[in-house]
Amino acid sequence: MSIPFTKMHGCGNDYIYINCFEHPIDHPEQLSRVISDRHFGIGGDGIVLICPSDVADAKMRMFNIDGSEGKMCGNAIRCVAKYVYDHNIATKETLEIDTLSGIKIIELHVENGKMVSATVDMGSPILDPSTIPVLVEDQEVLINYSLLIEDTSYSITTVSMGNPHCVIFSDDIESINLPITGPKFEHHPMFPESVNTEFIQIENRNTLHMRVWERGSGETLACGTGACAAVVAAVLNGHCDKDTDIVVKLRGGDLIIRYTDDSVYMTGPATKVFDGIIESIS
C-alpha cells in the first residue's frame, strides 16, 4: 500500500506527516522507526499522524525515531495546524487540536491563504514532581535542585509541559558533549518515564540560548515544549520575568515564549518542505 506524506518542520524540528483522514496507519511505531532514518528512510525526528477527532478539529499523534509515542510536541502541533488549514480540513484561523496532553488552541497567522506561523496556548506548566513525573521524596517543586550524575553535580529545574523536562543553566552550552551527557539524564532512574533535557545559556532577561536532548530522538534542532519549559524555569530561577516575550534561540531558529499567570504561549513558524509517497515498507 502506498502512503502519501508531507515533510514539514518547525525551526528544524522535522517530522513526516501523514493524513489519517484519508490513510489510516495500523502500526505507526514500526513505520516511524523505518522511515525516520536519515540514511535509509525519508529522514526526520519521527512521524506525526493527523487524525479525525470527535472533540477537536483534528487529533495529533506523534512518534519518535525509536517508535515511542510522545504526548505533545510544540513544533509539530504548529505544522499540524498548517496542514489542517492549508488542506481545508478546517478553514478557521483559530484551531483546536486534540493531543495526549489535552486539546490545544492555536491562533494561526495567515499570509496569501497559507499559514506561516502560529501562537499555541500550551497550557499551564506542571511543577509537581509526582505528576511530571520525578521520583523524589518530600519536594513540592524542584527548582535549582542538586542532582549528582556520576561525578558531576547539576542544578536542575523540572517542569512538565504535557511531557517531562529537566532544565539546566550553563555558562557555555556549546561545550557540552550532548550525545554523552543527554542520555545520562534521559535514562536516569529519577525519571521513570525518561526525560527531555534542556541546556540553557542566558544572554539577557529577554533572550535565552538552548540546546536540547529529546527522549527517544536524541539532540534535535528545536523543541517547542522544551523552549516553554526553559522559560518557565528561567522565571522560577529569577533569570527572566513573567508576562514578557522571551526569545529562545535554538539551533533551528527562534521561538517566542510568554509565561503568564494563566498559561504559556508559544509563537513560531511552520514550514512545508515537500510532498512524497511511501511505496513500500521493508
129-150 per-position pLDDT tens digit: 999 999 999 889 999 999 999 8
Q: Which of 20, 79, 166, 223 is catalytic?
A: 223
- With vertex at residue 12, the alpha carbon angle to CA 7 and CA 16, rounded to the nearest 5 degrees, is 20
Residue 138 lies in a domain: no
Task: Examine the domain organization and report whether 186 and 149 are in the same domain.
Answer: yes
Per-residue pLDDT at 279 = 87
Task: Examine the domain organization and report whether 161 and 113 are in the same domain.
Answer: no
Per-residue pLDDT at 196 = 98
**Count of domains in the chain?**
2
Per-residue pLDDT at 282 = 61
Q: Which of 11, 73, 228, 240 is catalytic?
A: 73
Residue 134 lies in a domain: no
Task: Examine the domain organization and report whether 14 and 92 are in the same domain.
Answer: yes
Task: Examine the domain organization and report whether 7 and 115 are in the same domain.
Answer: yes
Assess whether 166 carries a catalytic annotation: no
Per-residue pLDDT at 9 = 98
**Average pLDDT of adjacent 10-residue blocks, the chain of 282 residues:** 94 97 95 95 97 98 96 96 98 97 97 96 97 94 95 96 97 96 97 98 98 96 97 98 98 98 97 93 66
10 Å Cβ neighbour count for 266?
28
Q: Residue 160 is part of which domain span?
A: 145-262
Q: What is the pLDDT of residues 179-238, one digit of tens each?
A: 999 999 999 999 999 999 999 999 999 999 999 999 999 999 999 999 999 999 999 999
Distance CA 142, CA 145 (A): 5
The domain that contains 251 carries what CATH number?
A: 3.10.310.10
Q: Which amino acid is at 129?
A: P
- With vertex at residue 95, the alpha carbon angle to CA 108 and CA 101, rounded to the nearest 5 degrees, is 115
Assess whether 73 carries a catalytic annotation: yes
Residue 130 lies in a domain: no
Task: Examine the domain organization and report whether 176 and 107 are in the same domain.
Answer: no
